[in-house]
A and B are shown apart, each in its own frame.
Chain A
Amino acid sequence: MTATPVRKVAANTTVRHFLARVAFALIMTIVGLLFALPLVWLVLAPFDATPSLSLSWPDWTLDNFARLAENPYALRSIGNSLLLGVGTMVIVVVLGALAAYAMSRIRIPGRDGILYALLLLSSIVTGTAAMVPTFQIITQLGLINSYVGVLLVLAGGILPTVIFILKDFMDSIPKSYEESARLYGAGPFRILRDVVAPIARPGLAFISIWTIVQVWGNFLVPFILLRSPDMQPAAVLMYTFYTESGQADLRLISTFALLFSAPVLIIYFVVNRRYGFRFHGGIKS
């Protein structure tokens, strides 16, 4: 009543501001819940004595983990996944960084056309249609049932996307650093290793994680190229927890799903915390 018009307006904005904040918080909570909802089962079911498809407060037990530990392949398969994931990552990051750097700094004729073509071809080869050729090549190279074969096929399929993203990254790195490094007599390889790579670290970190995530979920390539189950990664093992009529053993599959997801999640959050992810630039042509 006694408030001056000015104060009224101020109060109004405060109220509106407050309401907006509440609405914003509400929306974010809902979005957060929507993203969290499917994950709840992943966290709870493994600890339930009798997991079902419905979400319920578990009858707490660690028996499922004990049962899974008896499986001769389950835990080892997660180690195998790590080996394949990290191995592929090392190959694509090293080769991808070298290639992306060179492509960024030197005009190679038809460079962008080649890059786009490879990016598109990678979609055909990761599909089912190219399975036979891939298998034949690996057989002829004598690399069946060896990790080398799996690593090379995975790396070949992932490299174009890696180069595509990294080149974008390298393009946006200021060239003045390299110029000064060169003044001090550093060669191109040293410049890449000691100057460019550290600046590009967030990009390299992103690519590393992206690669591991891709490999982590890949079923077809390791499945057809590896013979002994001791060597199969977790993505293949996941499918063995179904009976011959396609029924899932919920106790094993829920527990394995958690163990299968945990390493990538941990790697992801550790790397993210240490390096953070950044993207640069956009499409160049």
Chain B
Amino acid sequence: MTTSTTTPAGSAIAPRRRRADDVAGLGTVRAGIFVAPALILIGIFLLFPAVWTIWLGMTDYRLTGLQAASPEFVGLDNYVEALTDPSFWNSLWLTLIFVLFSGIIGQTLIGFGLAWSVRNIDGWTKGLIEGLVLAAWVIPASVASFLWLVLLDRRSGTINGLLGTEGTAWLIDHPMQSIIIFNIWVGTAFSMQLFSSALNAVPPSQIESAKMVGATGWQQLRDVIVPNIKGHILTNTLLITLWTFNTFTPYLVTAGGPNGKTEILSVYIYETAIPGGQLGLGAAISLIMLLINLVIALAYVRVSKGRKKR
């Protein structure tokens, strides 16, 4: 974060720092009208259920049984229960590992690597590689998870057949590694696309100048490319982190098992709320998860603010 002050990025950022100008003559009232439909929809179908969920988090509500008929207000009991439960902390730890390796490192780096690599290739190879990566992203989660069950099956899975490791139960012996790679497979396309367009937007003249003074590929990357696409990196990392944090798809592959080894927070909430029936507790943990997301988002915003003040 201590890049020199003479980065070319300075000029690229400068225009954005100007206050948004009302060039279209929108006016505050009309702007309000433009925003209103979206906000009303969000208000009713997002905000309202969200607030209600927060309230549920302070009751012992269940979907069935006596507490369904007459839920009681229990204040912060659910929060105390969650925060003193070792399995919650275990789940949080698993989630952090999952987000770090599959989201931040895996998807972002491989996505960038792919975007960087195919940028100068032309023709069908580029289309093919991008197409495969995108296909993994586009196909529905239930199908993707089924494909991975087939791939990693212990008895007749494709991987075991190719590697000659018949009988290796990947999902039992290496559950976390499996869902990390699975999630990289599913999600890399987003980063790849985002970085592809970001790389296209880097002024070629800057790269040319760097080449002329004899900068190596690595130096070009560090001194020209990265400063130019910093904003994209932040947007990408923020969205990827949040999405990975909240994804439920790994459940379709390992069902949180074996023995809770892949019970990331979204799975933990599901297990608590639906099979466990404790909707109140599940709602409370959801809010805890939201607060963790908030901390992450604030951290990113801080970084981006720091970037702009320079």
Q: In the complex, is A directly touching B at CB under 8 Å?
A: yes
A38-B151, A52-B156, A188-B30 known; A129-B286 Cβ under 8 A: yes
Compute how far the CA of A265 lies from the CA of B136 in the bound complex, rounded to whole angstroms.
10
B24 within 8 A of A: yes
A120-B294, A125-B53, A285-B305 known; A156-B24 Cβ under 8 A: no
- B246 & A126 in contact (Cβ 8 Å cutoff): yes
Neighbouring B residues of A32 by C-beta, 8 Å? 128-129, 132
B106 within 8 A of A: no
Compute how far the CA of A196 lies from the CA of B23 in the bound complex, rounded to whole angstroms.
12
Closest-by-CB residue of B relative to A117 is B294
- A163 & B49 in contact (Cβ 8 Å cutoff): no
| Residue from A54, A136, A196 in contact with B156 in the complex, judged by beta carbons closer than 8 Å | A54
Compute how far the CA of A31 lies from the CA of B133 in the bound complex, rounded to whole angstroms.
9
- A53 & B156 in contact (Cβ 8 Å cutoff): yes
Closest-by-CB residue of B relative to A196 is B24
A35-B136, A102-B34 known; A175-B21 Cβ under 8 A: yes
Neighbouring B residues of A79 by C-beta, 8 Å? none
- B235 & A40 in contact (Cβ 8 Å cutoff): no
- B35 & A219 in contact (Cβ 8 Å cutoff): no
Neighbouring B residues of A155 by C-beta, 8 Å? 41, 45
Neighbouring B residues of A9 by C-beta, 8 Å? none
B45 shortest CB reach to chain A, Å: 3
Contact with A along B202-221 (1 / 0, CB 8 A): 00000000000000000000
Secondary structure dominating the interface of B:
helix
- A269 & B149 in contact (Cβ 8 Å cutoff): no
B7 within 8 A of A: no
Neighbouring A residues of B270 by C-beta, 8 Å? 127-128
- How many B residues have CB within 8 A of the partner chain? 109
- B304 & A132 in contact (Cβ 8 Å cutoff): no
Compute how far the CA of A130 lies from the CA of B48 in the bound complex, rounded to whole angstroms.
10
A230-273 contacts to B (CB < 8 Å):
234-235, 238-239, 248, 253, 257, 260-261, 264-265, 268-269, 272
Contact with A along B98-139 (1 / 0, CB 8 A): 000000000000100010011001000100110111111111
| Residue from B31, B128, B274 in contact with A105 in the complex, judged by beta carbons closer than 8 Å | B31
A94-144 contacts to B (CB < 8 Å):
95-96, 98-99, 101-108, 116, 118-130, 132-134, 136-137
Neighbouring A residues of B290 by C-beta, 8 Å? 120-121, 123-124
Closest-by-CB residue of B relative to A24 is B117
A32 shortest CB reach to chain B, Å: 5
B178 shortest CB reach to chain A, Å: 12
Compute how far the CA of A174 lies from the CA of B214 in the bound complex, rounded to whole angstroms.
34
A128-B270, A129-B273, A172-B16 known; A178-B37 Cβ under 8 A: no
Neighbouring B residues of A54 by C-beta, 8 Å? 153, 155-158, 161
A47 within 8 A of B: no
Compute how far the CA of A52 lies from the CA of B121 in the bound complex, rounded to whole angstroms.
38
A147-189 contacts to B (CB < 8 Å):
152-153, 155-157, 159-161, 163, 168, 171-172, 175, 178-179, 181-182, 187-188
Compute how far the CA of A236 lies from the CA of B61 in the bound complex, rounded to whole angstroms.
27
- B286 & A284 in contact (Cβ 8 Å cutoff): no
Neighbouring A residues of B16 by C-beta, 8 Å? 171-172, 281, 284
A277 within 8 A of B: yes
Neighbouring A residues of B158 by C-beta, 8 Å? 37-38, 40-41, 54-55
B47 within 8 A of A: yes
B168 shortest CB reach to chain A, Å: 14
A282 within 8 A of B: yes
Q: Which 9 A-B pairs have the closest CB atoms?
A: A282-B231, A156-B45, A54-B156, A102-B34, A133-B52, A99-B38, A133-B49, A106-B31, A217-B140
Further pairs besides A122-B46, A125-B53, A159-B46: 11, Cβ < 8 Å: A28-B121, A38-B158, A41-B158, A99-B34, A108-B28, A123-B293, A125-B50, A129-B286, A161-B239, A277-B197, A279-B232
- 21 of the cross-chain contacts (CB-CB < 8 Å) are A36-B132, A39-B132, A40-B158, A54-B155, A54-B157, A127-B269, A128-B270, A128-B273, A129-B279, A130-B52, A156-B44, A175-B23, A188-B27, A191-B24, A219-B142, A235-B142, A261-B143, A279-B193, A279-B232, A283-B234, A283-B301
